[in-house]
Chains A and B, each alone.
Chain A
Amino acid sequence: MWSIIEQIFPYAIIFTIPLLITALGGLFSERSGIVNIALEGLMVIGAFSGALSIHYLSGVLDNHTLVLWLGLLAAVLAGVLFSVLHAFASINLNANQIISGTAINLIATALTVFLARNITGSGNIRISSGFSPWDVPFLSDIPVIGDLFFTKTYPTTWLVLIILFASSFILYKTKFGLRLRSCGEFPQAAEAAGINVRRIRYSGVLISGAFAGLGGALIIVTQSGEFTGTVAGLGFLALASLIFGQWKPLGVLAATLFFGFASTIANVSQVIPELAVIPPILLKIFPYVVTLIALVIFSKSSQAPKAVGETFDSGKR
């Protein structure tokens, strides 16, 4: 049992991290009161811009690590830019947030493949290599824990974990966090208290764009090494993790870890004898079924932001 865990742990983490950062982005958006079903599309945009800029920059710059980080930065910027579309539609124009998000998902997948096909012909963009795993100095020497957590890790994993704890701090301990949460719970009251609801919601959505863009690019630099025009539903899975994690940073961490492990187990089950006895179909649908069950269980005590999904009408009582 222990050896199985040790074997699949690194893969599960690689799978979890993009999901985690994207779900965290969704958290900022939804806590500010804007449903962001566009996470999937924003991830695709991030994966595309990351892959494209790494593809081009690696011919210009010699330092490959720097190129990778610049690629991630490009993905963040592209995610922010694209999320403006969602913010504008749902905050300024009072559009139905789910429809606007769906439109952005459609635009993102279509536009990126359209452009990629023009650039490479096949529609796929390959990068020469991603980040290489790295042992954390000193900490990796600790027995058991060191092997599990601190050997063969990616620097991006630590970056995302830092962002996670910073987000938690910002959300619960700063003025901005309090304002953000109040806009998601009762925007009219927030406005009466002198908060610019639209501006706060804009920041929420733009943060989600940045994080989802980063999440998309992380898939490229740690897992696949190639942009193929899709992120295979990870954005929707991030959305489900957000709800599963009850819109709390640590809850989201737990939910994404669950998905990370469940998916990895399903993917590697055929090569691990102990797991090969279970029909793979059960392992594959397991995370989705558990999510449905979890939604039922949480439905009574849902911690959803009260005003999420509603268009803001400052005259409403």
Chain B
Amino acid sequence: MRNTIVSLISIILGLVAGGILMLFIGSNPIEGYSYLLQGALKNLERIGNTLATATPLVFTGLSVAFAFRTGLFNIGASGQMLAGGLAATAVALTFDLSGPVNLLAMVLAGLVAGALWAFIPGLLKAKFNVHEVVSTIMMNWIAYWTIYYIVPGYFKGEFLETESKKLAESDTLRTPFLTEMFDGSYINLGLFLAVIAVIIIAFIIDKTTLGFELKAVGFNRFAAEYAGMKVNRNIILSMLISGALAGVGGVALYTGNASSIQIGILPSQGYDGIAVALLGANHPVGVFFAAVLFGILYSGTGFMNAMTEIPPELANTIIAIIIYFAATSVMIERLLNKFKAKKSNKEDKRGPVVEKGDS
């Protein structure tokens, strides 16, 4: 509950800051936001596009959130997405499968590739205590350059050197039934995969021994070790699952929303996943809603940009400011506490925790 309030206040503050920015460049914020909402939600096609934009974010958000629960900071979701997307594209272009088997093989390939890409940082963390932030960043760049040479080398597009061959419609996660339902939107099966992932991850975290152990390692790895848990194994496992999620996110992005993989770009969804996880308070359901919010912001700004002078980077700016406020949630919590204390005229129980180190 409290987390939700903090997140909501952060969102409001971020939107207010976005409005101030629009004023600053001489545009009308109310007009800007109304175009943004129209761009994201005006008709079925746009709603479909918004949900499709949110889909990879659900995956990367889950990926970051899951690792967070084990006390790991997976900043390498971008690289894991690239690995997953490349693996799925490779399967689609290499093997002559069709129908559900084909899609299943692609998703599995993406899942395994993402997991493998995260396995290395996990292993280095568990065995050598190498900080995962640095190692995942290195893995991001290794993925970036691998794609940079593998795609033109083996899966070159017909017209452009800088992207892979376009996948046939049947080789992507798009289905006629969804496309028709949403009036030609690029929404695809990735959304269903995302919902399934949310449910599975929520189940693992809240209802299984594995989830309990992973959280225990996150809270205090030494206490977990004394309690007889295999800390190193859990760290590697957590990174594997986190990477698998990001890998499937890559599949949804490159073979669902798009139908080719471009070189020279680290997908920004990987970094946005950090924002999504933080705003969703690291809970799968929260992650889902945070991703949808970001989907609205991203897909709405295109239309807003077409109708007004406001650059589309407004979405990123608002998101970044929301994250800064979410990161400094102590400030919001203090204000809330003050408000509460005034209201009930009693000392809030959480007071001392928040005031920690404030002498």
Contacts and interface: CB of A to CB of B under 8 A. Distances in A.
A241 B355 CA distance: 36
Report the 9 A-B pairs with minimum CB-CB distance, sorted nearest first.
Answer: A110-B316, A106-B320, A313-B357, A107-B320, A117-B311, A281-B149, A284-B145, A114-B313, A103-B324
A146 B146 CA distance: 39
A280 B149 contact: yes
B317 A114 contact: yes
A95 B149 contact: no
Interface string B53-91: 000000000000000000001010000000000000000
Contacts, number: 139
Interface string B139-158: 10110011011100000000
Contacts of A316: 357
Contacts of B34: none
Nearest to A292: B138
Contacts of A270: none
Interface string A249-285: 0000000000000000000000000000001110011
A236 interface: yes
A171 interface: no
15 contacts: A89-B324, A89-B327, A89-B328, A93-B328, A102-B75, A104-B324, A106-B320, A109-B316, A110-B313, A111-B320, A236-B137, A288-B142, A295-B134, A296-B130, A314-B357
Contact of A103 (B124, B137, B320): B320
A99 B274 contact: yes
A110 B318 CA distance: 9
A113 B124 contact: no
Given A102-B274, A110-B319, A315-B357, A289 B142 contact: yes
B232 interface: no
B148 to A, nearest CB: 7
B311 A240 contact: no
A295 B237 CA distance: 21
Contact of B323 (A103, A117, A300): A103
A96 interface: yes
A136 interface: no
Nearest to A111: B317
Interface string B323-358: 110111111000000000000000000000000111
Contacts of B311: 113-114, 117-118, 123
Contacts of A98: 73, 133
A110 B244 CA distance: 28
Contacts of B4: none
Contacts of B138: 240, 288-289, 291-292
A113 B357 contact: no
A285 B130 contact: no
B284 to A, nearest CB: 19
- Interface centre among B141, B314, B329, by most A CB within 10 Å? B141
A98 to B, nearest CB: 6
A37 B75 CA distance: 11
Contact of A281 (B134, B146, B274): B146
A105 B316 CA distance: 11
B291 to A, nearest CB: 16
Interface in A71-116: 85, 88-89, 93-96, 98-100, 102-107, 109-111, 113-115
Nearest to A99: B327
B146 A102 contact: no
Nearest to A242: B134
B141 A95 contact: no
Contacts of A115: 25
Contacts of A221: none
A244 B309 CA distance: 45
A102 B279 CA distance: 13
A295 B324 contact: no
- Interface centre among A95, A239, A312, by most B CB within 10 Å? A95
A102 B320 CA distance: 9
B323 A102 contact: yes
Contact of A240 (B134, B275, B356): B134
Nearest to B21: A114
A158 B167 CA distance: 52
A133 interface: no
A292 B330 contact: no
A157 to B, nearest CB: 25
Given A106-B275, A107-B317, A284-B149, 10 more contacts: A100-B327, A103-B320, A110-B316, A110-B319, A123-B313, A281-B149, A284-B145, A284-B148, A295-B128, A314-B357
Nearest to A108: B320
Contact of B313 (A99, A117, A289, A299): A117
A151 interface: no
Contact of A93 (B129, B135, B150, B331): B331
